[in-house]
């Protein structure tokens, strides 16, 4: 007999219950500790799971497969008991909020966060499918947003519970709005249906709304069957890619790799027209939350249409719960009349070339692809803050500052050369999935180009600095100029000396920045800043961080800190 509402201190299979975390149609989840005191998530399954031989066999097989799967995107299965009516499953306790809670509390994901979520979940699903397991219930409450990426939880291990009854009654078990259309027609869950749910989860993450609405239930199912997905407010490329990934017919769907490629393009180059995506923080009434460990909400069996014909229809709402329902709730003829077919919708104006990019052939187009290279925007505020940092650091540590500056210039020139070469290929032949692989493979060549191209600027900068230092030394040595606080025969010291040294470092850096063959230095810096500090907010944060770092050196200069010359030789005032 099932023990309902276990009190803290109760023991199950050697695990001590600490507190309940949630309950649903398949069982109740508790926070528990094992014999060593480590926290775990213990899911006590309902009695009908343990009493069904088919379910126990499936539970054993899938637990065994998941225990062998070691993947950071999967909540590890630590233990299981399937041979009694008090069946349970023990997994690691994953820290963090589930995606539903995360969006409700912090707002929708931006383009970069959406790409990270898409890539992380895609790679996790590939690993799970490779282990012979289908998740069966992809939805926001079953994805934990952790510091190290998304983690899938609450696999539908008990989903086969009472399968024969569900089949005989013509019911389907799942979460409306995240259940692939083919499952509504009686197909078995598989990899394709998991990836359909994956795309639906991405829509929720990007919009903060259920992908096919929330009520009534019949309309939710009808929209899913016709692909009428809610992508309002998203940029045209993101919206089109998600809409195609949620096509009703599996054969018409954009592949997961192509969807990730589209989101990658958005992150790298933005939407083809102004992105109107709004970040909206939802109230609790907007999104129905579930526990972070994802125990199933109560399973609801919706009566078959034939049995319900004699009573007044009940309008059900889709609340995000996993439920058993009758796919016949939706009349397919009515769908075609009442719901707009997404195939009849025109793609947003100006993004036809994006559609071609997603399906681009590997053969180059002789007349160009129509691809436009994104501009390398100037970031004067950030660069001026970087110059302040270089000058203040160079005043106290000229040798180290110059070495670091030269290394950074090599890096940005390499990145700039690599990215510009990729954009050139895209202008000739369009966007291809092989673009980034080619860019990585050609990095050594672009590194060589960066170093060779930097030599002229370094030579000119070195010559200018040497000449000015020589003139200054001559003026000091002939008593035409005195460096305050720096006696003859000793190394330069004092405020005047540090300011002079910092000025020489900045002068040399300026010549490198604007000297011969320096265009790639500036272009590369713009591309790097656009990637590491994107948008106005990123520029502001980068500027503040650079100025904060510079302030540390400025304080040292003002308090009389000595100059550290290494790895340069220590000079002496003539």
Going from N- to C-terminal start, the domains of the chain cover 11-92, 97-332, 380-558
CATH class of the domain comprising 97-332 = mainly alpha
Nearest to 534 by CA among 283, 270, 219, 172: 270
Cβ neighbours for 61, distance < 8 A, ≥ 6 positions apart: none
pLDDT number for residue 472: 80
Structure tokens at 255: 């592949």
Largest CA distance in the chain: 112
Tens digit of pLDDT at every position of the chain (574 positions)? 445 567 888 888 889 999 887 766 567 788 899 888 888 888 887 766 556 666 667 667 767 767 777 788 888 888 888 776 677 888 888 888 889 888 888 889 999 999 999 999 999 999 888 888 888 888 898 899 988 889 988 765 434 333 444 444 455 666 788 889 998 888 888 899 999 999 999 999 999 999 998 778 888 888 999 999 999 999 999 999 999 999 999 889 999 999 999 999 999 988 875 434 343 333 333 333 332 333 333 333 333 333 333 333 333 445 555 555 555 555 444 443 444 444 343 344 334 433 333 333 333 334 444 566 777 788 889 999 999 999 999 999 999 999 999 999 999 999 999 999 988 887 777 667 788 889 899 999 999 999 999 999 999 998 998 898 888 877 766 666 666 666 676 787 778 888 888 999 999 999 999 989 899 999 999 989 988 888 788 889 999 999 999 999 999 999 888 889 888 888 877 6
> What's the pTM value of the predicted model, to 2 decimals?
0.50
pLDDT number for residue 297: 35
pLDDT number for residue 360: 36
Per-residue DSSP letter, 344: G
Cβ neighbours for 126, distance < 8 A, ≥ 6 positions apart: none
Q: Which helix (H) or strand (E) holds 451?
A: helix 443-477
Is residue 417 within 8 Å of 449, Cβ to Cβ?
A: yes
Distance CA 78, CA 32 (A): 13
CATH class of the domain comprising 11-92 = alpha beta
Q: Cα angle vertex 233, ends 232, 236, to 5°?
A: 85
Is residue 33 within 8 Å of 18, Cβ to Cβ?
A: yes
pLDDT number for residue 113: 93
Task: Confirm whether 11-92 and 97-332 share one CATH topology.
Answer: no
Sign of CA dihedral 413, 416, 419, 424: negative
| Helices of type H across 208-255 | 217-226, 236-245
């Amino acid at each position: 007999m099932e023990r309902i509402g276990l009190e803290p201190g109760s023991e199950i299979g050697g695990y001590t219950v600490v507190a309940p975390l949630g309950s649903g149609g398949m069982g109740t989840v508790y926070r528990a500790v094992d014999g060593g005191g480590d926290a775990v998530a213990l899911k006590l399954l309902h009695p009908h799971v343990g009493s069904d031989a088919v379910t126990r066999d499936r539970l054993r097989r899938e637990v065994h497969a998941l225990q062998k799967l070691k993947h950071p995107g999967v909540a590890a299965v630590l233990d299981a008991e399937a041979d009694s009516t008090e069946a349970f499953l023990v997994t690691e306790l994953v820290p963090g909020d589930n995606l539903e809670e995360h969006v409700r509390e912090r707002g929708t994901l931006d383009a970069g966060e959406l790409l990270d979520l898409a890539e992380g979940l895609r790679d996790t699903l590939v690993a799970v499918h490779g282990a012979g397991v289908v998740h069966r219930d992809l939805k926001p409450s079953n994805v934990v947003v952790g510091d190290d990426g998304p983690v899938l939880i609450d696999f539908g291990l008990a989903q086969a519970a009472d399968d024969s009854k569900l089949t005989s009654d013509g019911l389907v078990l799942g979460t409306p709005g995240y259940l692939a259309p083919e499952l509504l027609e009686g197909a078995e869950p598989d990899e394709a249906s998991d990836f359909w749910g994956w795309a639906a989860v991405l829509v929720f993450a990007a919009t903060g709304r259920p992908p096919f609405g929330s009520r009534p239930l019949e309309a939710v199912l009808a929209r899913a069957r016709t692909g009428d997905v809610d992508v309002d407010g998203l940029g045209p490329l993101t919206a089109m890619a998600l809409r195609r990934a949620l096509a009703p017919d599996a054969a018409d769907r954009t592949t997961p790799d192509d969807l990730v490629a589209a989101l990658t393009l958005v992150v790298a180059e933005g939407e083809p027209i102004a992105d109107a995506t709004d970040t909206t923080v939802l109230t609790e009434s907007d999104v129905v939350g579930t526990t972070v460990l994802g125990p199933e909400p109560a399973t609801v069996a919706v009566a078959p249409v034939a049995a319900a014909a004699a009573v007044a229809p009940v309008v059900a709402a889709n609340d995000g719960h996993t439920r058993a329902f009758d796919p016949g709730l939706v009349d397919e003829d009515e769908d075609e009349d009442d719901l707009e077919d997404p195939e009849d919708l025109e793609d947003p104006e100006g993004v036809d070339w994006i559609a071609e990019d997603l399906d681009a052939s590997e053969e180059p187009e002789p007349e160009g692809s129509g691809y436009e290279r994104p501009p390398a925007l100037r970031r004067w505020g950030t660069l001026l803050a970087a110059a302040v940092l270089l000058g203040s650091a160079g005043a106290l540590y000229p040798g180290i500052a110059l070495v670091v500056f030269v290394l950074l210039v090599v890096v940005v020139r390499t990145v700039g050369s690599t990215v510009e070469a990729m954009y050139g290929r895209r202008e000739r032949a369009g966007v291809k999935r092989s673009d980034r692989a080619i860019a990585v493979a050609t990095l050594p060549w672009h590194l060589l180009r960066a170093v060779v191209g930097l030599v002229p600027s370094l030579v000119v900068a070195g010559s200018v600095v040497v000449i000015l230092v020589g003139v200054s030394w001559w003026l000091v040595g002939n008593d035409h100029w005195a460096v305050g606080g720096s006696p003859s025969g000793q190394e330069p010291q004092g405020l005047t000396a540090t300011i002079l040294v910092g000025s020489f470092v900045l002068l040399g850096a300026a010549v490198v920045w604007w000297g011969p063959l320096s265009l790639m230095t500036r272009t590369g810096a713009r591309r790097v800043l656009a990637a590491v500090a994107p948008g106005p907010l990123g520029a502001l944060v980068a500027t503040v961080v650079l100025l904060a770092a510079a302030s540390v050196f400025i304080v040292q200069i003002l308090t009389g800190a000595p100059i550290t010359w290494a790895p340069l030789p220590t000079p002496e005032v003539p």
